[in-house]
Each structure stands twice: as C-alpha cells, then as structure tokens.
Structure 1
Amino acid sequence: MLQGWQGWVGTFTGVALITVAALPLAALAVWALARLRSVTSATPAWQRSLAEVGIVYGTVPWVWMIMLPGGRAGAVPGRVSLVPLRDLFTILAADPLTATVQVVGNLLVFAALGFFAPLRFAALASVPRILALAAGCSVLVEAAQYLLRLDRVSSVDDVLLNTAGAGLAALASRRWWRATARAASDRPRSATAPGR
C-alpha cells in the first residue's frame, strides 16, 4: 500500500484516495453552510453552499495532481509546447490508452468550476465567461508547472482541454443556472432590499 505521508500527498493514487475519503467532509460542509445561511439569509442556501463546496472539492484534487513533480523535478528545465494538438497526436500515435486517460483527465480539471461557478456567481452565468475563466486558470497552472520546474511539459493542449471541459460542464448545468438567474430577476426588488 502507500508508504508514509509522501505516498498520500505525493502520488496520483494517494490524492485520489484522499479525495474519496474527504467526500463525507464535503457533504458535511455543504450541510453546515446551508444551515448557517438558512438562518441568516433569504437566498437559496443549499444551492450556494453546494456550488461553493463543489467548486473546491471538484477542482483542488485535480490541480493538486497536475502540480505533482515528476521524477526529475528541479533538475531539468521547464518544457513548453505551444503548437496546438501536437502533443495530443504524438501521445495518441504512441499509446492510445494513455492519450485517452490524459484527455479525460484534462477535461475534468476545471469541470467542477465550469459546472458550479455559474450557479454561485451570477456574473459568470454565461459559457463565454466560464471559458475565459477556465482558460485563465489553466494558463496559470501551466505557467506554474514551467516556473517551478516540475519536470512536466507546459502545453497549449492542456489549456485547450481544460477550457473545453469547463465549457462542457457549464453547458451541462446551464438549465439550473439559467433558471436561477430567471428566478432572481423575477424576485421583487423589495424582497432583496437591505433590512427587509
């Protein structure tokens, strides 16, 4: 099994196990936030709480995994690939299974952000805004991989796939965030005024 704390926080398997083990804590956090908000606010407490916890729970483990250093971290300079789809096709030609796993993994990195952010933040309730947010976050992660010399390739393909995953997830939740936006716009102004 996993040996020591590095086996838990420094491997893909360890991060995956921690993520699964943290699911009850995430559910408890949603419940506690919703209870607290239902006492102090008239806004949809469950939806806001689920969205906030969902963004963190669904994004942090993926970012953690892609920031894990490779075997020669610090010893080799950062590598960059700026030609779209070149890395993807190279891996696909060499090993289709590895390419499939990488594509699915990259699509999931910011999927929770894309799914839940429009539900939580009205200003992000559009697919183009989610695409811009995910692209910005992905560029930051790829730049960090390069600057920290993690023995990883900072690739434009990763940015494209991370962004696409967030966009697809936003489309999947669109029905709910559009309904929320409509309900908020239909609410009388007096119901949302301070002190009422």
Structure 2
Amino acid sequence: MNPVFRVRRIALLGPAVLLAVAVAFLAQRPLHRRAGWEPWFGTINGVVFWAVAALPLSAVLVWALARRRRGAGAWRRSFAEVAMVHGTVPWVWMIMLPGPGAGVASRRVSLLPLRDLCAILAEGPPVTATVQIVGNLLVFAALGCFAPVRFRALASVPRILMLGAACSVLVETAQYVLWLDRVSSVDDVLLNATGAGLAALASRRRWCR
C-alpha cells in the first residue's frame, strides 16, 4: 500500500475511533439510572450504544469475509455487505420501538402524501422537525449506499428507490400490525425511499466502476 494512503487512513481512523468511543460513553450514561435490561434494548440511547459497541465486531466480520473470499474485490464486497446491514439495523430497531400506548391506543394510518410532513414543518419546533426528517432520510441510507456496490442488479437509482420504498412499506406495515403506537405514514415511505436514492447517488462513483 502507498505510504501516503496509509498515513491518511491512520489519520482518519484515529478521530473516528475517538468519536465512536465518545458517542458510546454519552449514550450509556442515562442507561444506568434505570434498573433492568429494558433501557438497554428498548430506548434510543440503548440502540445507539449497541450500534457503536458493535463496530469492532463488524470490522472483524469484514476481515473474516474478505479473508475467506480473497480474490479481486473481496474487501469491497465484504465491506459493502457488513456496512449496509450495520448501518440499517439500528435505524429499523429505533423506529420499531413501541410507544407509550402500544397495544392500547388506536392504530393510526396516514395515506395522504405530504400531510404529516407539512404538519411537522408548520406546527413542530424547527429542531424536532429537522431531526424527524433527517432521521427518516437516514433509515435506509446505508442500504442505498452499499447495496448497488455489492449487487450489480441494484446498480441503478430507480431500483434503489424502489427497494427503499418496499423496505419502508414493510416496516410501516409491521408498525401497524404489531400495534406499536406509531403512525404508519406514506410520508415516512417517501422520505425513506428518498434517503436511499440520495445515498445511492453519493456512492455512484463506486458502483459505476
């Protein structure tokens, strides 16, 4: 490997590791204030903590897959597989967390496009609206970014948009069927699919090769 590239990788890896440690530390602090395992697996802080804590395991898995395959492109394929799973599961986990009225409150469905999005922008605080919109864009961003790198059949923005929309419909349907006290909204599907498409555009140089 070129020494210049090696130095650049080390220079980028150091701050990334420090950032991951800081996020894990901040996420786990509130978890100790409540007894039991529920805070660790049933809260957003718990999901963030486990997502960061699993990074070394994901790195080992990439290495193991690449070593097993060896051939040309083994590292690229292995990294894409692990990254799209690791980058998607925590987000899906978060949006599948039950609300306070799970199993009790009436199921809610919103099928009118852009109604919920306009309501959030008009009525909600700017910070809350931004967090909700950006969060929905990121749910399937890792899938949209790495799926076309790994699977040649998905190397197309329209196909990634369809994949993101299909996955989002499954999640919204699961929220309704499992009675999680969440709104199954078509706007979430639109944002999830858009996030996947934008991520595919961001990685286009990789999968166009």
TM-score if structure 2 supplies the norm length?
A: 0.82
Q: Whole-Å Cα distance in 2 between the matches of residues 91 and 44 of structure 1?
A: 44
Match of 2:60 among 28, 35, 38: 28
Task: Name the amino acid aligned to 1:118.
Answer: P
Q: Whole-Å Cα distance in 1 between the matches of residues 76 and 114 of structure 2?
A: 37
TM-score if structure 1 supplies the norm length?
A: 0.88
Q: Whole-Å Cα distance in 2 between the matches of residues 43 and 145 of structure 1?
A: 41
1:170 maps to 2:200: yes
Counterpart in the other structure of 2:105: 76
Q: Percent identity?
A: 71
Q: What is the 5 A alignment of 1:102-121? A: 102-121=132-151
- Cα deviation for residue 173 of structure 1 reads 0.4
- Cα deviation for residue 89 of structure 1 reads 1.5
Task: Name the amino acid aligned to 1:155.
Answer: S
Task: Give the RMSD, CA atoms, in angstroms.
Answer: 0.9
Gapped regions of structure 2 (runs ≥ 5): 1-29
Counterpart in the other structure of 1:85: 114
Match of 1:18 among 33, 46, 50: 50
SS in 1 for 2:203: helix
1:6 maps to 2:35: no
- Cα deviation for residue 43 of structure 1 reads 3.9
Task: Name the amino acid aligned to 2:107.
Answer: G
Q: Whole-Å Cα distance in 1 between the matches of residues 69 and 52 of structure 2?
A: 26
Counterpart in the other structure of 1:160: 190
1:92–1:98 contact (8 Å) kept in structure 2: no
- Cα deviation for residue 125 of structure 1 reads 0.5
Match of 1:101 among 131, 136, 152: 131
SS in 1 for 2:184: strand
- Cα deviation for residue 32 of structure 1 reads 1.2
Runs of 4+ in 1 over 4 A off after TM superposition: none
Match of 1:48 among 77, 84, 87: 77
Q: Whole-Å Cα distance in 2 between the matches of residues 145 and 43 of structure 1?
A: 41
Q: Whole-Å Cα distance in 2 between the matches of residues 78 and 124 of structure 1?
A: 34
- Cα deviation for residue 92 of structure 1 reads 1.6
1:76–1:151 contact (8 Å) kept in structure 2: yes
How big is each residue's C-alpha offset from its partner over 1:105-140, in whole Å with a ceiling of 9 and x where there is no partner?
Answer: 000000000000001100000001100111000000
